[in-house]
Chains A and B, each alone.
Chain A
């Protein structure tokens, strides 16, 4: 009897497993659309060969779908990232404008009340202040690149306004959006408002660290020291293994040397005979003068790493917290036609912005709900209601935001140039796998060139390997 029961159980388990596999294969898994959306929203920043067009198409369809109105601004944010990274500023303008109109004009008070009483994720997504500020920054950047300086000024002003948190616990950080002030200064300079531009640049120079920042940086430095040592070991091992034997990897380079930023070369091996750099600086104060910014005809925004994320804490996931995504890059040196032109200056740490917008109002609401729910759980009838009452925090966030934004500006000779970016970690150690090269960057004889690049591991390396093995 026992053997028969075991056989039956075994057969049942097999049938169940098979049906589960069949169900997954035949349609219970993620649909192709879901996979495309996932890539567009979460992975596009880190892909070596991103399909920007496909990402824009899927995000556009989601953003404009009335059934997805609640998340329209979130899709707009992701679409903006894709458009900016892909160089499609027209789409970025449209996505940011539509999102701006929604944030400013759309209200759903019923959902607001329900969200205040229960699950906060049901509210219309407007984004956190730092996310809105970044969306308006991109909106301004897209218009600035087109020469619409007044509209750019408006959006940069909106970005600054968005970061002015109303929570009193973070009132000291209301004016700390350096990136917004820098670009507002440039837009004002273009409009001939030199005094206002100077004031904006002065504000862009003010760095306000948050209370735990020094400690966090020390922790990151210590972690990076360990990681860097491990990475060098792995590089050495990889090189030894793949450069010898029967089929060595063509084009393999030994990247196991520790190189500090102080040892960075003044010129690269393939440097042009003459430096095209007419004016560049490594001094942040000089960088933020109207004189310097007025002369610069090449402006590059360098985006690094991944922005902050949200996670749930507490019983019933009632509290939302902001976490820092780990990434290696911390600073950058720019080379033009092989000649060292200067560093990119850090203007924004997205995590810092996110954690300095205040939590006073939100925490009061979340604690209130958590307390009442706990009280209800302690009484017989109340516990039934409490079981059905969701008080989850809103965990939606802009997943493709960059971790840091660095600006490089210089005056260079007009014409085509090759830009090369060398990245360093927080301990000023060279990250060879993050090298980034952009060829045929044409600086106009009149006006300026504004461009955005973002760091991705193995970007140049992928090119080298492909070039070394033609036909594969």
Chain B
């Protein structure tokens, strides 16, 4: 690789400047939020961000609390959280975190119009243990009663699609949540949230 180059005072700084400029402009990478929401934060990649997480939970909680079945109920409906299906290709996504956040928001702001039953496996086992010890008289407390049954199940499904084109990639996420009647299995409420993002990774990586 031998090149004959005419020596010139301005050429080398110019070439160096061009290289630095090219690298800074094209190699450092760029990620931006597009389409469905305004660009509000710098995000890495096309996955869901903390902002998406907060937005979707807030929106779902507000929607649930306005339901006539909740607002007009004489006794607060009892809700159990069921597993959220992660149908994305993202193994890092913890889908159940969404429903837990929705529960927190509802408990905080629904003023007791809705109650949640804790069906967490660990908690269920602890409650059983507690009741056994109460029955044996090992610990004080009222006689164990019958556990409450659910009126509704809160669950959801998260899907995504990704595509690569040219130097960038797009990621589309759809998060849908629903309340299902525990007796009739009628879906009394469902709402979804969509996110689409475009990302361009720096040219230093393929």
> What is the interface of chain A, defined by CB distance below 8 A to chain B?
97, 100-101, 104-105, 107, 109, 112-113, 115-117, 120, 123, 126, 128-129, 139, 150-151, 153-155, 157-158, 161, 164-168, 174, 314-315, 357-358, 361-362, 364-365, 368-372, 374-376, 378-379, 382
> What is the interface of chain B, defined by CB distance below 8 A to chain A?
1, 3, 5, 7, 11-12, 15-16, 19-20, 22-24, 27-29, 44-45, 47, 86, 88-92, 162, 164-169, 201-206
Contacts of B29 in A (CB 8 A): 107, 109, 112
Given contacts A161-B164, A166-B166, contact A112 B90 (CB under 8 A): no
Contact assessment for A365 and B1 in the assembled complex, using a CB-CB cutoff below 8 Å: no
Contacts of A120 in B (CB 8 A): 204
Contacts of A158 in B (CB 8 A): 89, 91
Contacts of B44 in A (CB 8 A): 105, 107
Contacts of A100 in B (CB 8 A): 91-92
Residue of A nearest to B47 (CB): A104
Please name 10 pairs of A and B residues whose Cβ atoms are closer than 8 Å in the assembled complex, sorted by A.
Answer: A113-B28, A154-B89, A154-B91, A158-B91, A164-B164, A166-B169, A315-B1, A371-B3, A372-B19, A378-B3
Contact assessment for A161 and B89 in the assembled complex, using a CB-CB cutoff below 8 Å: yes
Contacts of A382 in B (CB 8 A): 12
Which one of A123, A151, A378 lies within 8 Å of B5 (CB-CB)? Answer: A378
Contact assessment for A116 and B203 in the assembled complex, using a CB-CB cutoff below 8 Å: yes
Given contacts A97-B91, A100-B91, A123-B204, contact A368 B19 (CB under 8 A): yes
Cα–Cα, bound, A134→B148 (Å): 49
Q: Give, as a whole number of angstroms, the nearest-CB distance from B31 to chain A.
A: 10
Q: Give, as a whole number of angstroms, the nearest-CB distance from B120 to chain A.
A: 21
Contacts of A117 in B (CB 8 A): 19-20, 23
Contacts of A153 in B (CB 8 A): 89
Contact assessment for A151 and B91 in the assembled complex, using a CB-CB cutoff below 8 Å: yes
Contact assessment for B89 and A112 in the assembled complex, using a CB-CB cutoff below 8 Å: no
Contacts of B166 in A (CB 8 A): 166, 168
Cα–Cα, bound, A94→B19 (Å): 41
Residue of A nearest to B202 (CB): A112
Contact assessment for A375 and B15 in the assembled complex, using a CB-CB cutoff below 8 Å: yes
Residue of A nearest to B164 (CB): A164
Residue of B nearest to A394 (CB): B204
Which one of A97, A104, A116, A370 lies within 8 Å of B1 (CB-CB)? Answer: A370
Given contacts A97-B91, A378-B5, contact A166 B12 (CB under 8 A): no
Given contacts A361-B206, A365-B204, contact A116 B23 (CB under 8 A): yes
Which one of A101, A104, A361 lies within 8 Å of B203 (CB-CB)? Answer: A361
Which one of B5, B45, B89, B165 lies within 8 Å of A375 (CB-CB)? Answer: B5
Contacts of B22 in A (CB 8 A): 368
Contact assessment for B27 and A376 in the assembled complex, using a CB-CB cutoff below 8 Å: no
Contacts of B86 in A (CB 8 A): 150, 154
Contacts of A164 in B (CB 8 A): 164
Cα–Cα, bound, A104→B90 (Å): 10
Given contacts A109-B28, A370-B1, contact A154 B206 (CB under 8 A): no
- Contacts A113-B23, A362-B203 supplied; 19 other A-B pairs, CB < 8 Å: A104-B47, A109-B202, A113-B24, A117-B23, A151-B91, A154-B86, A154-B89, A157-B89, A165-B164, A165-B206, A166-B168, A166-B169, A314-B1, A358-B206, A364-B203, A365-B203, A369-B19, A371-B15, A376-B15
Given contacts A100-B92, A154-B90, A154-B91, contact A128 B206 (CB under 8 A): yes
Cα–Cα, bound, A100→B92 (Å): 8
Q: Give, as a whole number of angstroms, the nearest-CB distance from A96 to chain B.
A: 9
Contact assessment for B167 and A361 in the assembled complex, using a CB-CB cutoff below 8 Å: yes
Q: In this complex, which of B162, B169, B202 has the most chain A Cβ atoms within 10 angstroms of its Cβ?
A: B202
Cα–Cα, bound, A260→B30 (Å): 56
Cα–Cα, bound, A410→B84 (Å): 35
Contact assessment for A116 and B202 in the assembled complex, using a CB-CB cutoff below 8 Å: yes
Contact assessment for B5 and A374 in the assembled complex, using a CB-CB cutoff below 8 Å: yes
Contacts of A97 in B (CB 8 A): 91
Residue of B nearest to A120 (CB): B204
Contact assessment for B12 and A375 in the assembled complex, using a CB-CB cutoff below 8 Å: yes
Contacts of A157 in B (CB 8 A): 89
Q: Give, as a whole number of angstroms, the nearest-CB distance from B18 to chain A.
A: 8
Residue of A nearest to B20 (CB): A117
Contacts of A150 in B (CB 8 A): 86
Contact assessment for B15 and A372 in the assembled complex, using a CB-CB cutoff below 8 Å: yes
Which one of B12, B27, B169 lies within 8 Å of A112 (CB-CB)? Answer: B27
Cα–Cα, bound, A325→B117 (Å): 60
Residue of B nearest to A164 (CB): B164
Residue of B nearest to A389 (CB): B16
Which one of A116, A139, A314, A357 lies within 8 Å of B206 (CB-CB)? Answer: A357
Contacts of A374 in B (CB 8 A): 1, 3, 5
Q: Give, as a whole number of angstroms, the nearest-CB distance from B155 to chain A.
A: 15
Cα–Cα, bound, A117→B86 (Å): 40
Contact assessment for A379 and B7 in the assembled complex, using a CB-CB cutoff below 8 Å: yes
- A-B complex: 9 closest residue pairs judged by Cβ atoms: A157-B89, A116-B27, A164-B164, A116-B23, A154-B91, A361-B203, A116-B204, A378-B5, A372-B15
Contact assessment for B15 and A155 in the assembled complex, using a CB-CB cutoff below 8 Å: no
Contacts of B28 in A (CB 8 A): 109, 112-113, 116
Q: Give, as a whole number of angstroms, the nearest-CB distance from B35 to chain A.
A: 20
Q: In this complex, which of B27, B88, B168 has the most chain A Cβ atoms within 10 angstroms of its Cβ?
A: B27
Given contacts A166-B166, A314-B1, contact A155 B91 (CB under 8 A): yes
Residue of B nearest to A109 (CB): B28
